[in-house]
Chain A
Amino acid sequence: MTPKETFLQPTIDIEDLGLDAGAHLLIKHGLLGVAPGESITVVGRSPDWDGQLSAWCRSQGHPVVLSTQDGRLQAQVTRGGYDAGRWRGALHTGHSDASVSGAVADKGLAAWGLAARGATVEAGSPPMQFRLDQKSEVWSESAADLYAQAVAAQWSPDAVIDWKAEFELPEVVENAVVQVLTYMIENEVAALVVPARFLGQLHPHFREVQALLAIQVADEARHIDVFTRRVRLKGREPALSTAGGQASLKSLLDEPDFSVAEFLLSVLGEGTFVSLLLFLHAHAPDPVTRQIAMLAARDEARHVAFGMTHLLARLETEPEFRTRLALAVQARNDALAGTSGLNEEVFDALILLAAGAFTPTAIAQGYLRVQQLMRDMAEGRQARLEKLGFGEEQAAQLSSLHTRNFM
């Protein structure tokens, strides 16, 4: 070795740290500073450091030569090519920041597997098939913002709902509240299951959408919990569940296309549900139901917003998809033609609930309020359909074809 080479070759002193105590990190770091085929000098003073170093170098594929320089043992470690070899042909997966140009690919590759977007993936990693791997099928630019809003708006039922508020309703009215909530619980279960199924099929590359669906599922779980707690507040069990109601919800579960499902569930269903929740917030006969209706309505409004922005983005690049949406509403209507629609128990319970008392005067007022609710729901659906680019007439027709079960 010439003096010049000695001067240039980096020296790593592992001092009294053994390779059975972490010294390999210092050596690895030193080797990263030279090119494969170039060497570093390693010195140490822990007992048997040279023997341990030789064993470690063998396992890592770094040639090592021991010598004595000025009476001190030293090792010349040459960087092997194997660490670089592992990353030859590695795959690049975009960028973590979705706002960077090209960050989100048009298609998530199976070979990327579960890797973080932006990570470098070793060639030969096991491919993983995610059915929803096309950006156009799932993406919304607003997903990250809506997720951030959702995180900020999470609420704890014990902290924000006054479960101890004192009230006592006439038995027939309490029964009506329990019936409406029983119906709402099964609707919320559908609203949980639909995004949960897509969540498991979504390529993790679309991280923001994945996060939003996940928190949407958590929102629905919380709604199911608080509705159930309200049902049980006065010692009741959930009431009646009808075949027609479940048939309507099953048609949501059966929809395989993410965008169509978002349209039917979020834009039409949950949008209609927001009207119902606002109605309950305004007219429910007890403070607990009014509180939980308001909290749930805020969450549902976010779900509607994601459905709208996703569909607007898809329709912008694929205007013909509008026809598919219209056909989906028609098909669902056809499929449900043989069912009874909204069950009588729920409709009557809504009237009683809005009446608040079992008197002709109160019932008359309750009836008027439910009629107004029906008009509000239809107008809301129509407005959202028009925002998605349907003409006024077609929007009105599609709104009228929406399931009589609301969701």
Chain B
Amino acid sequence: MTNSLTNPLLMGAVAYAPKVVTIWEGFKEYFRRHDLEFDYVLFSNYERQVQAQFDGGIALAWNSPLAWVRADRMARACGQVATAIAMRDTDCDLTSVLVVRAASPVSADLSALQGKTIGFGAIDSPQAHLIPLDHLRQQGLVAGRDFTAKRFDVLGGKHGDHIGGERDAAVALMAGEIDAAWMIDGNHQAFSREGVLPAGATRIAARTGLYDHCNFTVSPGAPADQIARFTGLLLAMRWDDPQVRPLLELEGLKTWLPGRTSGYALLERATDDEAFYDAQGNILAADYRY
């Protein structure tokens, strides 16, 4: 670990939307207000961000669940440990839903999906591609063999953070271009509010098991005292504080929780079964561009 990590504490984040700058500038101000020298580096994709966690570039990263899986595998491969120190309350126990038009013949046993075209999000989206593929595989349905997978790829390397792919799939579903569409449960609510999914026009045919989403992943060898200070200040952020609340609202949480790694089992399995990364965290997906 180089000295560049020690002062200030340097964090990586992926620039999936312009608001990311607003969010981390706000956090930087918050940490500095509390005497923690903190700065952030923006990456255009999670793959380079995770790699930077192993070449001394950043002490920690705000990682997608798939980036966590990769960081964890890369750490283990070289005998080190990556830890997840904190996550949002809204990162815990998520589900993805398979939405069909109300009149669809697809029922709970999903057998009617045979031969159908199913819409997915970006190739690297845990919630709208990898975990849904895994869910169907567990039901005996394999993409390319039992159904046609149509991907709505938006911004490769962002691990599905940009919800454009899921929205495109929802629009295609309503246009009759596909027979079903996967999306994270929160986006299902959002698309309902927006009218992309008109009330009564669709129903949920399947729901995945529970999984966890983003976390702050500490790079192996990061300075423990600064990480501890960072974690303490993060967990002390209060929704009731009008200076802090706008940041929490932008980042989509009410409160930070201590990190846990028990919620990534579905994604671990999907990563292996869909051959996205190998056990050392090397990228296997052939058509993945980021």
Interface residues of A (CB under 8 A from B): 18-22, 47-48, 51-52, 54-56, 58-59, 61, 80, 82, 85-86, 88-89, 122-124
Contacts and interface: CB of A to CB of B under 8 A. Distances in A.
24 contacts: A18-B199, A19-B189, A20-B188, A20-B197, A21-B200, A22-B199, A47-B204, A48-B203, A51-B97, A51-B185, A51-B207, A52-B188, A52-B204, A55-B95, A55-B186, A55-B188, A55-B189, A58-B89, A58-B92, A61-B255, A85-B240, A85-B245, A88-B240, A124-B246
Interface string B85-99: 000011011110100
B76 to A, nearest CB: 30
B185 A20 contact: no
Contacts of A82: 239, 254
A55 B199 contact: no
Interface of B: 89-90, 92-95, 97, 185-186, 188-189, 192, 197, 199-200, 202-204, 207, 238-240, 242-243, 245-246, 254-255
B242 A124 contact: yes
Nearest to A56: B189
Contacts of B204: 47-48, 51-52
A194 B189 CA distance: 50
Contacts of A56: 189
Nearest to A123: B242
A310 B186 CA distance: 55
Contact of B192 (A20, A48, A59, A124): A20
Nearest to A51: B207
B188 A80 contact: no
Nearest to A18: B199
Most B CB contacts (10 A, CB to CB) among A48, A54, A122 go to: A48
A127 B202 CA distance: 43
Contacts of B188: 20, 52, 55
Contacts of B254: 61, 80, 82
Nearest to A24: B189
B192 A21 contact: yes
Contacts of B199: 18, 20-22
A54 B192 CA distance: 16
Given A20-B189, A20-B199, A85 B95 contact: no
A209 B192 CA distance: 43
Contacts of B189: 19-20, 52, 55-56, 59
A58 B90 contact: yes
